[in-house]
């Protein structure tokens, strides 16, 4: 274990000690699961011997989830409750958890009891091998095959191919992050499942370990097969963010040039047949396509220029840099 992990949990003075481990849990209508999850988590975390906190983020629940979280926080100083004004979604809840986490290591997991707290030591052990993100792999899923498992397998294969970060199970919420990586991740909408891929520009080392997966006992799943289409749309955005975030003109400008060339080739062909064969081209649909391609190409080029200006404004106005320094080594000389 890391030397810093040698700190033990002090129940009386947990708020004053440096926190080593933060467990963040988005909650949406999980009143029956919360007490069971808390007891399981507490047993595992106490045995680990680290200073820790458990952060429950209530994502606008309409049942008694928030009342239960408040009760847990009042009796246990390790528990932190965050409540949203309304339902914003799992991605927003995870983002809030990362922002408020004080630990050097952040564990993310679901509140539905399908993730097993007993797998947390396994994730931490893998982190100690030098990884920045360790993702859970539900090797033996307990979900319906047609509506959940099969679409998930297809999505995981597609995401791995497109992003270049190969994981068997992007959808598993049980993941361990080094805090310095987790807090640099900017994600919105429903991008939480892509976090290992979004960490790629940060130079993060990502791996996965098999974890347990239990069938849901209480409540109902918040996801269905319809989310497959959302994943595809999000994947397109992720691919753009990974490859073209700092150079958007390449994708827009490249597409624009191709469209303009196609348009000019079509128009050149029509001019040729008009001049040399005397054919009427005014009522040909091909003429409209040629003009449309040229205009669309010009619009794409203009969009690329605007995107470049927005990108430069984003970095320069906030003092951001399109790179992240991991370490600096130098030798200082004294006269």
> Shortest CA distance to 8 belongs to which of 44, 48, 39?
48
pLDDT band at 219, cuts 50/70/90?
low
- 3-state secondary structure labels for all residues of 216-276: CCCCCCCCCCCHHHHHHHHHHHHHHHHHHCCCHHHHHHHHHHHHHHHHHHHHHHHHHHHHH
pLDDT of residue 225: 54
Which pairs count as long-range contacts for 82-88, CB under 8 Å and 24+ apart, including other chains?
A: 82/55, 82/56, 82/57, 82/58, 83/57, 83/58, 84/57, 84/58, 84/59, 84/60, 85/60, 86/60, 87/28, 87/59, 87/60, 88/59, 88/60
pLDDT of residue 224: 52
Mean pLDDT of all residues belonging to the chain = 84
pLDDT of residue 221: 60
pLDDT above 90 as % of the chain: 49
Here the tokens at position 322 are: 């399109």
User: How far is residue 48 from each of residues 21, 264, 283, measured CA to CA in Å?
Assistant: 10, 68, 78
pLDDT above 70 as % of the chain: 84
pLDDT of residue 190: 73
pLDDT of residue 81: 94
Of 68-77, 163-172, 207-216, 230-239, minimum mean pLDDT range: 230-239
pLDDT, tens digit (0-9, with 9 covering 90-100), for 278-289: 888 888 889 999
pLDDT, tens digit (0-9, with 9 covering 90-100), for 12-48: 344 457 899 999 999 999 999 999 999 999 999 999 9
Average pLDDT over residues 39-58: 95
> Shortest CA distance to 264 belongs to which of 299, 297, 294, 295?
294
**Integer Cα distance of 60 and 86 in angstroms:** 4
pLDDT of residue 2: 40
Of 93-97, 205-209, 324-328, minimum mean pLDDT range: 324-328
Domain 3-243 in CATH 3.90.550.10? The answer is yes
pLDDT of residue 331: 54
């Amino acid at each position: 274990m890391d030397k810093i992990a040698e700190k033990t949990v002090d129940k009386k003075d947990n708020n004053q000690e440096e926190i080593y481990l933060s467990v963040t849990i988005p909650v949406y209508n999980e009143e029956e699961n919360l007490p069971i999850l808390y007891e399981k988590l507490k047993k595992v975390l106490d045995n680990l011997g680290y200073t820790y906190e458990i952060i429950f983020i209530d994502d606008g629940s309409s049942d008694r989830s928030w009342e239960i979280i408040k009760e847990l926080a009042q009796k246990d100083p390790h528990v932190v409750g965050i409540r949203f004004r309304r339902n914003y979604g799992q991605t927003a809840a995870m983002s809030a958890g990362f922002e408020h986490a004080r630990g050097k290591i952040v564990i993310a997991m679901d509140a539905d009891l399908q993730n097993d707290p007993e797998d947390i030591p396994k994730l931490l052990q893998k982190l100690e091998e030098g990884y920045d993100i360790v993702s859970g792999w539900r090797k033996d899923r307990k979900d319906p095959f047609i509506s959940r498992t099969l679409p998930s397998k297809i999505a995981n294969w597609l995401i791995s191919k497109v992003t270049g970060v190969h994981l068997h199970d992007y959808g598993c919420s049980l993941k361990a992050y080094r805090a310095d990586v987790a807090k640099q991740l900017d994600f919105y909408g429903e991008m939480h499942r892509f976090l290992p891929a979004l960490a790629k520009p940060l130079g993060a080392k990502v791996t996965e370990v098999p974890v347990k997966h239990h069938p849901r006992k209480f409540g109902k799943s918040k996801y269905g097969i319809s989310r497959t289409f959302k994943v595809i749309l999000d994947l397109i955005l992720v691919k753009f963010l990974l490859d073209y975030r700092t150079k958007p003109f390449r994708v827009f400008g490249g597409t624009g040039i191709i469209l303009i060339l196609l348009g000019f080739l079509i128009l050149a062909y029509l001019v040729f047949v008009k001049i040399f064969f005397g054919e009427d081209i005014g009522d040909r649909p091909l003429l409209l396509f040629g003009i449309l391609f040229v205009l669309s190409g010009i619009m794409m080029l203009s969009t690329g220029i605007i995107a470049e200006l927005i990108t430069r404004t984003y970095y320069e106005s906030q003092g951001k840099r399109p790179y992240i320094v991991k370490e600096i080594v130098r030798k200082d000389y004294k006269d």
